[in-house]
Structure 1
Amino acid sequence: MSSEQSAESEHDPESHSPRHAGFRYAVGRMIARPLARVIYRPRIEGRENVPQHGAVILASNHLSFIDSMAIPIAAPRPVHFLAKSSYFEGTGLKGALSREFFTSVGAIPVRRGAGQAALDALDQQRRLLDDGLAVALYPEGTRSTDGRLYRGRTGVAFLALQTGAPVVPVGLIGTDRVMPVGARMPSLRERVTVRFGAPIDVSRHGAAASGKARRLATDEIMSAIHGLSGQELAGVYNEPPAQGPIDKIKQALPHERR
């Protein structure tokens, strides 16, 4: 393989897929789970609610950077999630360590953004589910910086309705105290609680092509997450402040948040 081909494979999302990274993930999971349990002593509830086989979506609230580590560590089966592609594209020793770490915890690189980037991310998640894997997603779209639970975007419901995968709601408690936004290192004094709720079959709401079905399914999922996390409800979407008049108009108009 040429050096150019080698470089391409490092940045190719397919080279980090579960099929290619299975051994590294298995080793990382074998090491990380017992180590994290010793250090953080997480409280784990409802593990029996996670199906042992077949496609499943773990839909969680999102409070901290470490949420994507807490869920795979607590789950009774391998769980995969999408992570910013920049975590896999660094150079030198730091880049290599970042790439190996995120691969070992089940992360799959994706280029984030709106429009086509968002559709590509949904398609990548659908392929994981089509392979019978478990994926973790955050319906809020981004971390809550004030601890409240924001309205869910409909991408999770779309995937569930499209693939038929059950949705297991997850309530994370305390991850924002273990590693607050802006912190460089996690605290060793706090404990995390991970609660897995009963699986939800959203198919009764209708087809994936129906905006009403996606909204109803999303609201049902968010209600279950709220019951597990106990957070205050924000009642709005978690999105950055509008940067200009066009963005303000877009946010004011009624539209479905994917």
Structure 2
Amino acid sequence: MLYWLMKWVFIGPLLKTLWPTKVVGAENIPESGGAILAGNHLAVADSFFMPLRVKRKVTFPAKSEYFTEPGFKGLLKKWFFTGVGQFPIDRSGGNAAQAALDTATRLVKAGHLLGIYPEGTRSPDGRLYKGKTGVARIALESGGVVVPVAMIGTDKVNPIGSKMWWPRRLEVRFGKPLDFSRYEGLAGDRFIERSITDEIMYALMELSGQEYVDIYAAKAKELLAAEAAGVKPEVPAQPSAKDAARVPESKVG
């Protein structure tokens, strides 16, 4: 109930008024059943503008810090992020990360729409970075299709480091669903999971028009920080997303 109040009464009308958004490919979202909306990640604003343009409820994993801050401010944050359809995810690794994947898988199996950012964190420079394989694990274990989602312009609305949101025209592009049922029973195979993830990232690259970089966004942030400090580490040449998406023949069939 809180989600729909936030979407249709409190936040939704304001966002639609101040940030007119073009929507392409909304018909690619399944009308029922579990599915994964896998998006590029340019800004915090992505998690607000994309669900607003989807008729069904979209649930996102979010940093656990949004839900655990003490005091009245922390209570308001927890209420707000719960209201916009987000659930906490511990990104510290180990069992906590697995528990988050299990929760996401259960949601899709139960027929929900799961929103996820395969890059794991926001792009530091507007480019598209290597995806983490959690999205593939969820797809394989839940049986849900993956709908690539490209957000265009949110980095201009909500630039990294800015607390202000600036008026801009936005676009949300929903791509054709990707069905990985041909790999049923292969969850846990790291080669298959990597190939599936790279196929999703290639679809996102084509949909968004972003330049693809085959390193993790978190690593890219480290490199940019080092460069800002006057250190210039060498970064090896990276394959294209299309090359990375090729599935090893020995692992298929």
Per the shorter chain, which TM-score range? 0.7 to 0.9
Task: Tell me how far apart the structure 2 counterparts of residues 66 and 141 of structure 1 sit (CA, whole Å).
Answer: 15
Answer yes or no: is 1:203 the counterpart of 2:197: no
Following superposition, the deviation at residue 180 of structure 1 comes to 0.6
| 8 Å CA contact retained: 1:205, 1:217 | no
Q: Which of 98, 115, 118 is the aligned partner of 1:119?
A: 98
Give the RMSD, CA atoms, in angstroms.
2.0
Q: Match of 1:141, SS?
A: coil
Answer yes or no: is 1:227 the counterpart of 2:206: yes
**Equivalent residue for 2:139?**
160
**Equivalent residue for 1:16?**
none
Task: Tell me how far apart the structure 2 counterparts of residues 174 and 182 of structure 1 sit (CA, whole Å).
Answer: 16
Q: Match of 2:58, SS?
A: coil
**Equivalent residue for 1:81?**
60
| 8 Å CA contact retained: 2:39, 2:118 | yes
Where does 1:142-221 land on structure 2 (aligned, <5 Å)? 142-188=121-167, 190-205=168-183, 207-221=186-200
Following superposition, the deviation at residue 204 of structure 1 comes to 2.0
Structure 2: runs of 5+ lacking an equivalent: 224-235, 237-253
TM-score under structure 2 length normalisation? 0.82
Answer yes or no: is 1:40 the counterpart of 2:40: no
Q: Match of 1:158, SS?
A: helix
Answer yes or no: is 1:62 the counterpart of 2:80: no
| 8 Å CA contact retained: 1:150, 1:236 | yes
Q: Which amino acid aligns with 1:68?
A: S
| 8 Å CA contact retained: 1:85, 1:110 | yes
TM-score under structure 1 length normalisation? 0.81
Following superposition, the deviation at residue 44 of structure 1 comes to 1.1
Following superposition, the deviation at residue 215 of structure 1 comes to 1.6
Task: Tell me how far apart the structure 2 counterparts of residues 37 and 78 of structure 1 sit (CA, whole Å).
Answer: 17
Answer yes or no: is 1:96 the counterpart of 2:96: no
Q: Which amino acid aligns with 1:200?
A: L
Following superposition, the deviation at residue 43 of structure 1 comes to 1.2
Task: Tell me how far apart the structure 2 counterparts of residues 96 and 209 of structure 1 sit (CA, whole Å).
Answer: 38
Q: Which of 136, 145, 149 is the aligned partner of 2:115?
A: 136
Q: Which runs of 4+ in 1 moved over 6 A?
A: none
Q: Which amino acid aligns with 2:163?
A: R
Q: Match of 1:193, SS?
A: strand
Task: Tell me how far apart the structure 2 counterparts of residues 194 and 169 of structure 1 sit (CA, whole Å).
Answer: 11
Q: Which amino acid aligns with 1:128?
A: L
Following superposition, the deviation at residue 135 of structure 1 comes to 0.6
| 8 Å CA contact retained: 2:89, 2:97 | no
Structure 1: runs of 5+ lacking an equivalent: 1-22, 243-251, 253-258
Q: Match of 1:171, SS?
A: strand
